[in-house]
Amino acid sequence: MSVLRIGDIKEQCFDTATLSAFARQQSSVPLRRAGAMTELVIAGVAACLAGEADRSTMVLWGSRMGARAAGIRVVVDVAIARESPFPFDFLATQPILAAIPLQKSFPCIESALYQPWTGDAALHWQRMRMLAAVFLQAGRHARVLCGQVEPGEGEHIGRWQMLEN
């Protein structure tokens, strides 16, 4: 059994324009309907993988307010356009929509999983680390990126940590 290595937590802080520009620069696919939550996931993963070798990677992430902010954005966009929402606009799918540009932009990512927020940051991180350890010990992936992304009004924050064997 190999020893689990847990990296330091990397924190990112962006204003809206900088986050949007950085995420679009890192993505190999257009981010037409991406909100701050998806952009934070892309920015965090890009930062974690910069300079790293291509190895099988899983991304686990969650957000306290991101899904709600994305849902509100969908409702507001639909109201402004005065049209029906597209099928992919359903509120429940907003968090995992980040998986599509992630897997297309970073070929080493084999799995992406949104972890619902439990309301307690310490429990959230512990649950993600435990799940990451299970996937690593089972040999399903060489590394797991765990993240918490929090879109805000003017400031967007992401915290990321890499776990590997």
> What pLDDT, in 10s, does the model give residues 108-129?
999 999 887 777 888 999 999 9
d(CA 145, CA 6): 10
Look at residues 128, 126, 123 and name the one whose alpha carbon lies nearest to residue 112: 128
Q: Name the phi and psi angles at 56, rounded to 5.
A: -55, 125
Residue 148's pLDDT band (cuts 50, 70, 90): very high
Residues with Cβ within 8 Å of residue 109, at least 6 apart in sequence: 45, 57, 58, 59, 102, 103
Average pLDDT estimate for 12-29 = 95
Q: Count how many residues are written for the chain.
A: 165
Say whether 44 sits in a helix, a strand or coil.
Answer: helix
- Asked whether residue 89 carries a pLDDT value surpassing 60, the answer given is no
Cα torsion 96, 103, 35, 126: sign: positive
pLDDT tens-digit map of 24-50: 999 999 887 778 889 999 999 999 999
Q: What confidence score (pLDDT) does residue 32 get?
A: 76
d(CA 70, CA 107): 25
Structure-token pair, residue 90:
């359903």
Structure-token pair, residue 103:
């897997």
Strands 57-62 and 143-150: parallel
- Asked whether residue 140 carries a pLDDT value surpassing 80, the answer given is yes
pLDDT tens-digit map of 44-72: 999 999 999 999 999 999 988 655 556 55
